[in-house]
């Protein structure tokens, strides 16, 4: 049995005993043992409410005084994801991120900084996937994915644009936009040897 929240090093000021017990019960209900690192990871993700990479979670826990080893972190993220307590997503930068928002939602992505924000849709999403041919053209007649034997379990819409912060930075007077280059660091010229 775990110690109460007030006596365990993985708990922080926001983890009152009632909340600790609630999370432990939630983990048990999903078939997981409520270990202190697991509760710390889940609590941290819930408090932050963002789409965080394992490194961001690792650093955040360390800064909050609840460090876990990187191996323990990855094992717990995998277990929490596998048991449906968090979602594993791949962000716009290709990095794996974790989301505690389990309600159906979509994402708004900033193409400049990679910020990922949860969004809902203002109306019903009445979209049916239609299979395309190998060349990207619609089949004649169009073939509904469900009619072709696909069992659709969910949909994810990703909106792309520029976030308010990046928009502000590019329109502020006196700011220069840094140019991205595909080349590596500048090479120094070598002096001729005499």
pLDDT for 122-147, tens place per residue? 776 667 777 766 555 555 666 777 77
pLDDT of residue 34: 93
pLDDT of residue 129: 74
pLDDT of residue 122: 77
Asked if residues 105 and 116 have their Cβ atoms less than 8 Å apart, the reply is: no
pLDDT of residue 7: 32
Q: What is the per-residue pLDDT across 176-185, written as a single tens digit (0 to 9) for each?
A: 444 333 333 3
- Report the helix count and the strand count for the chain, using DSSP H and E: 5, 7
pLDDT of residue 91: 79
- What are the tokens at 125? 């999403």
The pTM is what?
0.67
**Separation CA 79–CA 77 (nearest Å):** 6
Length of the chain in terms of residues written: 194
**Separation CA 160–CA 106 (nearest Å):** 11
Residues with pLDDT less than 70, the chain = 1-18, 124-126, 132-142, 172-194
Asked if residues 152 and 158 have their Cβ atoms less than 8 Å apart, the reply is: no
CA dihedral 10, 13, 15, 18 (to 10 degrees): 130
- What are the tokens at 177? 């936009």
pLDDT of residue 174: 52
Please, what is the angle between helix 36-48 and helix 54-63, to 10°?
A: 100
**Separation CA 173–CA 82 (nearest Å):** 48
Which domains are delineated in the chain? Answer: 1-102 (1.10.10.10), 103-148+155-171 (3.30.1490.190)
3-state DSSP: the chain helix, strand, coil percent, rounded to 5? 30, 15, 50
């Amino acid at each position: 049995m775990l110690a109460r929240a007030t006596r365990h090093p993985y708990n922080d000021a926001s983890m009152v005993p009632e909340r600790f017990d609630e999370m432990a019960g939630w983990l048990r209900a999903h078939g997981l043992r409520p270990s202190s690192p697991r509760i710390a990871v889940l609590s941290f993700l819930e408090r932050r409410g963002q789409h965080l990479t394992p490194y961001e979670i690792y650093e955040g826990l360390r800064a909050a005084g609840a460090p876990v080893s990187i191996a323990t972190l990855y094992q717990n993220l995998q277990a929490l994801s596998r048991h449906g307590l968090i979602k594993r997503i791949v962000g716009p930068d290709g990095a794996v991120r974790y989301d505690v928002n389990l309600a159906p939602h979509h994402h708004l992505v900033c193409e400049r900084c990679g910020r990922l924000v949860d969004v809902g849709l203002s109306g019903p999403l009445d979209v049916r996937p239609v299979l395309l041919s190998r060349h990207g053209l619609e089949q004649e007649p169009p073939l509904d994915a469900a009619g072709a034997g696909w069992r659709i379990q969910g949909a994810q819409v990703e909106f792309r644009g520029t976030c308010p912060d990046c928009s502000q930075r590019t329109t502020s007077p006196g700011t220069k936009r840094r140019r991205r280059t595909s080349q590596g660091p500048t090479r120094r010229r070598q002096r001729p040897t005499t």
